[in-house]
Structure 1
Amino acid sequence: MAKLDEFIAEFASFVWGLPLLILLTGGGLYLLIYSKFLPFRYLGHSLKVLRGKYDDPNDPGEINHFKALSTALSSTIGMGNIAGVAVAIAIGGPGAMFWLWVSAVIGMATKFFTNTLAVMYRGRDSEGKLQGGPMYFITEGLGKKWWIMAAFFSVAGLVGALPVFNVNQLTQAINYILLTPNGVDVDFTSNLIIGIILAIITGIVIYGGLERISNTVSKMVPIMVGLYFISVLIILLVNFDQVPYYFGLIFTDAFAAENYVGEPFLGGVLGGLIILGIRRGAFSNEAGIGTAPMAHGAAKTAEPVREGLVAMLGPAIDTLIVCSLTGLAILVTGVWQTHDVNGVSLTAAAFNASIPVYGNYLLLVCIAIFSISSLFSYSYYGSKCLSFLIGAEKKHYYNYFYILSILLGATTSLSMMINLIDGFFALMAIPTMTATLIMSPRVLKEAKRYFAALKQSEKEVIQK
């Protein structure tokens, strides 16, 4: 197992090298500039679309804009926001937060382009149902000769969508917060029992299909973000005197990299810090990876740009808000300097330091909701990848594999799980970003048409 752990770590480091950093971050920055910062110019309009102002039940698709965003957010707002941020700060120090923010700003542009494409070039599966996602916008937008690249994405997605990291960290949270303090022996058997319970809960929801998944997570997402926001707000109020200092340190340490303890990149610690922040940011908001377009591609809309505008809100909510809450809570309590790299225990220490007795249990509730909601969405992504590869009538086989992987995640090490998913996320990003950059002029052309029509309709309303 030690050799396997080392091999997976080397694999993740290899695929997250300079070429991918250029493709993911450089590509996203190019899209941001190329669009003339469009995601930020139409933020108000995207909120109107999200609230349902332009919903039409007769439009093609399966779920409305809000449920599509909730499904996407339920996968992105997960353990990456709690454990992932904690790992980033433990290794990179306060400066890691700055590069997380950079990845979010760039990610908003990336999400606009990828998710607009997901609706522009929807395809039909072997059962004739309308589907969206990178595998479909590659084959529908670039042609069948690009099928190999679409298949590459789908194969990587089969592993990338596995819930092993979320399950692993939820298990560790239950052990650290609930079982060990109450004198319960933590071992393979206890972890397996937790895994079995999670597998049963997940199975009940995912076998109901997208409709049941979207209905469930659309109720869970607002609750989990609200509960977590209030919890961290209490921590920040308790440590109010430390907030200005650490907020400033995030910016200065981002370039000094004085607290970085990881491997150097391109010969320096600053390069290592940048790649750490971008990598954890990508794991958190998944911009450019290609998972979100599978959820947004199912949105009920005839206007691709609308779904792109809704999707771009994802990194803002996920990374700029939720990840920032976790990061500030860990920094202002000072636990980032005194605890280990096990993400959950670091965040739990921050909660316990400011909210004695109840803090850990409050965090456990948040973690449980975050993790379990992610379990539902990722199963949908994986089954869509299998559907593309071998046919929609066989996609349910993925769920059996998915359920078994929950047991694996509950009983294996953190480093192996986080490196495994990181590695395959990187592989998914290659076809997603390549196709998006090739077709970006088509997205911009569609956006110009949409906004011109929008201005004309608003003008007519004013004249009436």
Structure 2
Amino acid sequence: MEQLNQLIENFASFAWGLPLLILLIGGGLYLLVLSRFLPFRYFTHAIQVLRGKYDDPNDPGEISHFKALTTALSSTIGMGNIAGVALAIAVGGPGAIFWMWISAIVGMSTKFFTCTLAVLFRGKDSDGQLQGGPMYFIVEGLGKNWKPLAVMFSLFGMLGALPVVNVNQLKQAINDIILIPNGMEVSFSSNLTIAIILVLVTSIVILGGLQRISNIASKLVPSMVLLYFGLVLIILGINYEVVPKYFVLIFTDAFAAENFSGEPFLGGVLGALVLLGVRRGAFSNEAGIGTAPMAHGAAKTDEPIREGLVAMLGPAIDTLIVCTLTALAILVTGVWETTSNNGVTLTASAFNNAFPEIGSYLLMICVCVFSISSLFSYSYYGTKCMSFVFGAHNKHYYNYFYILSIILAATTSFEMMINFIDGVFALMAFPTMIATILLAPRVVKEIKIYFNKHKQL
């Protein structure tokens, strides 16, 4: 098991090398400049679209803008915001959060382009159903000769959509917050029991398809965000005197890298800190990875730009707001310096510091909702990838593979699961970003048409 863990860690480190860093950040900056900073200029227009101001029930697609965003957010607002942020601080210190912010700001532009393309170049699966996502915009936008790139995305997408990190951290939260404090023994049997319960809950929802997934996500996501916001704001209120100090520390430590404890990259710890921030940012908001375009590609709209505008709100909500709140809660309570905890357990320590005895249980409610809603959305992504490669008539087989992965994730280590997903996400990002950069001029052309039509310029 140790050898397998080391092999997966080496795979993740290799995949997250300099080429991917250049592609994600450099490519995102290129898209930002090419669009003349559109994500920031039309932020209010994006919110109007999200609220349904321009909805037309006769538009093609399966779900509303709001449901598309909440379906995408239910997979990104999850353990990346609780466990991922905690891991970033445990390894990189406060400065890692700054580079997560940079990843999100650049990621807003990337999300706009990828999700616009997902609607602009929708294709049909073998059942004749309209579908969106990187595999479809690669083939429809770049041509049939690029199909190997689309197949590469889909094959790695089937692995990247497995809910292994969410399940693993939910198991850890149940063990550390409920079982161990109450004197119950944690063993393979207890972990297997947790997995079986999750399998039953997940099966009921995912076998119901996208409509059931989006209906549940649209109800769960806003409520879980509000609950989490409220709890973290109380923590910040209790520790209001030190909030400015740690907010400033995020900026200063981003360049000093004094709290980084990992391996150097590009000859130094600063390069490693930047890479850590981008890597955790990608896990948090998935900009450039290619999962969100699959949800947004199903939106009921015939305006690709409109869906891109809605999608770009994702990284802002996910990383700039939710991740920042988690980070400040961990920093102001001081638990990042006083414990050796990692992942969800470190965040639980921060909650316990502010709410003695009940804090970890309050977080447990959030963790359950975050994790379980993520389970629903990821299964949809995996079945879309399966449909593309093996035909829509075979997509239901993915659900069985998906359910088996829940059992695997609940009985293995956090490090193995996070490294596995990191590595697979990296290999999904290459085809997504390459195709997006090549098709970017088409999006720019659509931007001009859209805003001239709606007199927004």
Please indicate the TM-score interval, normalised by the length of the shorter structure: over 0.9
Q: Given the alignment of the two structures, is residue 100 of structure 1 paired with residue 100 of structure 2, yes or no? A: yes
In structure 1, C-alpha distance between the alignment counterparts of 2:388 and 2:341, rounded to whole Å: 38
In structure 2, C-alpha distance between the alignment counterparts of 1:344 and 1:52, rounded to whole Å: 35
In the TM superposition, residue 341 of structure 1 has moved relative to its aligned partner by 4.7
| Count of matched residue pairs | 457
In structure 2, C-alpha distance between the alignment counterparts of 1:149 and 1:272, rounded to whole Å: 29
Deviation track 1:27-86 (CA, whole Å, cap 9, x = no partner) reads: 001111111110010000000100001111100000000000000000000101000000
- 5 Å-filtered alignment, 1:352-391, equals 352-391=352-391
| Letter of the structure 2 residue corresponding to residue 436 of structure 1 | T
In structure 2, C-alpha distance between the alignment counterparts of 1:92 and 1:342, rounded to whole Å: 12
Q: Given the alignment of the two structures, is residue 119 of structure 1 paired with residue 119 of structure 2, yes or no? A: yes
1:241 aligns with 241
In structure 2, C-alpha distance between the alignment counterparts of 1:177 and 1:43, rounded to whole Å: 39
| Letter of the structure 1 residue corresponding to residue 245 of structure 2 | Y
2:46 aligns with 46
In structure 2, C-alpha distance between the alignment counterparts of 1:257 and 1:108, rounded to whole Å: 26
2:72 aligns with 72
In structure 1, C-alpha distance between the alignment counterparts of 2:310 and 2:327, rounded to whole Å: 25
3-state SS, counterpart of residue 441 of structure 1: helix
In structure 1, C-alpha distance between the alignment counterparts of 2:338 and 2:133, rounded to whole Å: 43
3-state SS, counterpart of residue 323 of structure 1: helix
1:3 aligns with 3
1:433 aligns with 433
1:283 aligns with 283
- 5 Å-filtered alignment, 1:415-426, equals 415-426=415-426
1:408 aligns with 408
The two structures have a TM-score, normalised by structure 2, of 0.99
- The answer to whether the 8 Å contact 1:91/1:341 transfers is no
1:330 aligns with 330
| Letter of the structure 2 residue corresponding to residue 264 of structure 1 | P
In structure 1, C-alpha distance between the alignment counterparts of 2:253 and 2:341, rounded to whole Å: 19
1:139 aligns with 139
In the TM superposition, residue 357 of structure 1 has moved relative to its aligned partner by 1.6
C-alpha RMSD over aligned residues: 0.8
3-state SS, counterpart of residue 62 of structure 1: coil
3-state SS, counterpart of residue 455 of structure 1: coil
Q: Given the alignment of the two structures, is residue 315 of structure 1 paired with residue 315 of structure 2, yes or no? A: yes
In the TM superposition, residue 298 of structure 1 has moved relative to its aligned partner by 0.1
In structure 1, C-alpha distance between the alignment counterparts of 2:98 and 2:309, rounded to whole Å: 24
1:297 aligns with 297
Deviation track 1:85-144 (CA, whole Å, cap 9, x = no partner) reads: 000001100101100100010000000000000000000000000000000000000011
Q: Given the alignment of the two structures, is residue 129 of structure 1 paired with residue 129 of structure 2, yes or no? A: yes
| Letter of the structure 2 residue corresponding to residue 383 of structure 1 | T
Deviation track 1:293-351 (CA, whole Å, cap 9, x = no partner) reads: 00000000000000000000000000001100110000000001122252111000000
The two structures have a TM-score, normalised by structure 1, of 0.98
Report runs of 4+ in structure 1 exceeding 4 Å deviation.
none
- 5 Å-filtered alignment, 1:190-209, equals 190-209=190-209
2:448 aligns with 448
3-state SS, counterpart of residue 454 of structure 2: helix
In structure 2, C-alpha distance between the alignment counterparts of 1:172 and 1:67, rounded to whole Å: 30
Deviation track 1:178-210 (CA, whole Å, cap 9, x = no partner) reads: 111111111110000000000110000000000
Q: 1:14–1:341: structure 2 CA closer, same or farther, 3 Å change rule?
A: farther
- 5 Å-filtered alignment, 1:209-224, equals 209-224=209-224
- The answer to whether the 8 Å contact 1:87/1:341 transfers is no
1:62 aligns with 62
In structure 2, C-alpha distance between the alignment counterparts of 1:191 and 1:30, rounded to whole Å: 45
- The answer to whether the 8 Å contact 1:64/1:300 transfers is yes
Deviation track 1:140-194 (CA, whole Å, cap 9, x = no partner) reads: 0001110000000000001111001100000000000011111111111000000
In structure 2, C-alpha distance between the alignment counterparts of 1:335 and 1:33, rounded to whole Å: 40
Q: Which moved more, 1:143-152 or 1:333-342?
A: 333-342
| Letter of the structure 2 residue corresponding to residue 37 of structure 1 | F
| Letter of the structure 2 residue corresponding to residue 315 of structure 1 | P
In structure 2, C-alpha distance between the alignment counterparts of 1:57 and 1:400, rounded to whole Å: 34
Q: Percent identity?
A: 72
